[in-house]
């Protein structure tokens, strides 16, 4: 089965194998047992959220998307999913829950720009904490069974005390984005103990891949690829020796499938366990795009961790999740996507 609808390209079959190659029996068993669930995905028109929607639809689930389209795009939404254009902070969201009655909420919607969060910390708290709390209250009111929350492993740990950082690493964010995500994680235990709401928290590393917006709240891979393909100067912030844990979006989406009925009450890092320098990413993308420009360095950006990569052994042991797409292959697929869009 290939993905259908606008916004999907030649990588569809590869993505299908990434999503289900290691979990085919799991998906098949769910279908045979008639265990289809209704899943509400916030931010499901965005970069990562739309891939998660694709994965849930492919697994046979009934998917509802809530997205205010401030950064998401309608064309990213799978044609078999229903889209409601609603801000997660608005009271109108109650009507969506009343009509759709979801079994599971998967919460990807967030403000997620580190530098912007330093300039607008109140706004980030409003969306990422109060907006998310509105969702929790609706889950309680409408008897939702489970909440999958997308947090950040790239920002909650701050400058790491040790590497790779595991889930027990001290929480010491350097920016308001990471602080808002870390703060909201503390709401889940009381909702679980008092109201029986199951939860799983996924702390993403630096996710990259097709559909990432090189002009919005984007990561370095999308920014570099977009600029290089248009013959524009790609600027490296600081020395370029900063290291990040780059995980392909198809691998991240697969973790959301596995979290549907595993990992109750747990927190999991979703990354690769490998740090890659920004200079290395620049060089790889330069080769993949045929870019002829040289590397230009600008000043370092405030609030950003210098070096971070995540220990993912817990996800491997308890979710049976491991990354399967290497950086070289992931960058190639990402460049193919941006080239097809331009």
259-285 pLDDT, tens digit each: 999 999 999 999 999 999 999 999 999
Cα diameter, the chain? 59
Domain boundaries, the chain: 12-208+249-271+311-323
Which residues 6+ apart lie within 8 Å of 300 measured at CB? 237, 238, 239
**Residue 124: its pLDDT value, please?**
98
Q: What is the rounded end-to-end Cα distance, in angstroms, of the chain?
A: 27
Burial class of residue 25, CB neighbours in 10 A (0-12, 13-18, 19+): exposed
**ω into residue 164 within 30 of 0, thus cis?**
yes
CA distance 342 to 339: 5
pLDDT for the residue numbered 143: 98
Q: What is the dihedral of CA 251, 36, 149, 328, to 10 degrees?
A: 10
Distance CA 92, CA 215 (A): 30
For residue 302, the model assigns a pLDDT of: 84
**Residue 342's pLDDT is what?**
74
Is the domain spanning 12-208+249-271+311-323 CATH 3.40.190.10? The answer is no
- Quick one: pLDDT at residue 264? 98
| Tens-level pLDDT at each residue, the chain (342 residues) | 233 334 444 445 455 555 554 444 334 344 323 469 999 999 999 999 999 999 999 999 999 999 999 999 999 999 999 999 999 999 999 999 999 999 999 999 999 999 999 999 999 999 999 999 999 999 999 999 999 999 999 999 999 999 999 999 999 999 999 999 999 999 999 999 999 999 999 999 999 999 998 875 569 999 999 999 999 999 999 999 999 999 999 999 999 999 999 999 999 999 999 999 999 999 999 999 999 999 999 999 888 899 999 999 999 999 999 999 999 999 999 999 999 987
For residue 187, what is the DSSP state? T
The pTM of this model reads: 0.92
Catalytic residues: 177
> How far is the C-alpha of 19 from the C-alpha of 59, rounded, in Å?
9
**pLDDT for residue 16:** 54
User: 37: number of CA atoms within 13 Å, CB side?
Assistant: 19
């Amino acid at each position: 089965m290939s993905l259908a609808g606008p916004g999907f390209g030649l990588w569809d079959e590869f993505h299908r194998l990434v999503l289900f190659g290691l979990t085919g029996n799991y998906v098949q068993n769910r279908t045979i047992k008639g265990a289809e669930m209704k899943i509400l995905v916030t931010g499901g028109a965005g970069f990562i959220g739309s891939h998660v929607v694709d994965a849930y639809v492919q697994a046979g689930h009934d998917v509802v998307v809530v997205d205010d389209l401030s950064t998401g795009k309608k064309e990213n939404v799978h044609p078999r999913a229903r889209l409601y254009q609603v801000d997660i902070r608005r009271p109108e969201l109650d009507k969506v829950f009343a009509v759709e009655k979801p079994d599971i909420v998967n919460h990807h919607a967030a403000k997620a720009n580190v530098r912007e969060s330093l300039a607008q910390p109140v706004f980030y708290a409003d969306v990422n904490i109060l907006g998310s709390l509105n969702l929790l209250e609706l889950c309680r009111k409408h008897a939702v069974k489970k909440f999958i929350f997308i947090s950040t492993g790239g920002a909650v740990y701050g400058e790491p005390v040790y590497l790779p950082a595991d889930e027990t690493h001290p929480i010491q964010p350097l920016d308001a984005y990471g602080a808002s995500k870390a703060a909201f994680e503390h709401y889940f235990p009381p909702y679980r103990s008092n109201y029986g709401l199951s939860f799983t928290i996924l702390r993403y590393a630096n996710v990259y891949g097709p559909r990432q917006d090189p002009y919005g709240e984007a990561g370095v891979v999308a920014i570099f690829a977009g600029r290089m393909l248009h013959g524009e100067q790609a600027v490296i912030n600081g020395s370029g020796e900063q290291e990040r844990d780059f995980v392909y979006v198809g691998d991240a989406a697969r973790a959301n499938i596995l979290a549907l009925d595993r990992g109750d009450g747990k927190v999991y890092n979703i990354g690769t366990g490998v740090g890659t320098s920004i200079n290395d990413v620049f060089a790889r993308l330069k080769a993949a795009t045929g870019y002829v420009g040289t590397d230009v360095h600008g000043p370092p950006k405030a609030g950003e961790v210098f070096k971070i990569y995540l220990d993912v052994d817990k996800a491997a042991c308890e979710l049976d999740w491991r990354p399967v797409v290497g950086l070289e292959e992931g960058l190639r697929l990402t460049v193919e996507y941006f080239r097809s869009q331009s």
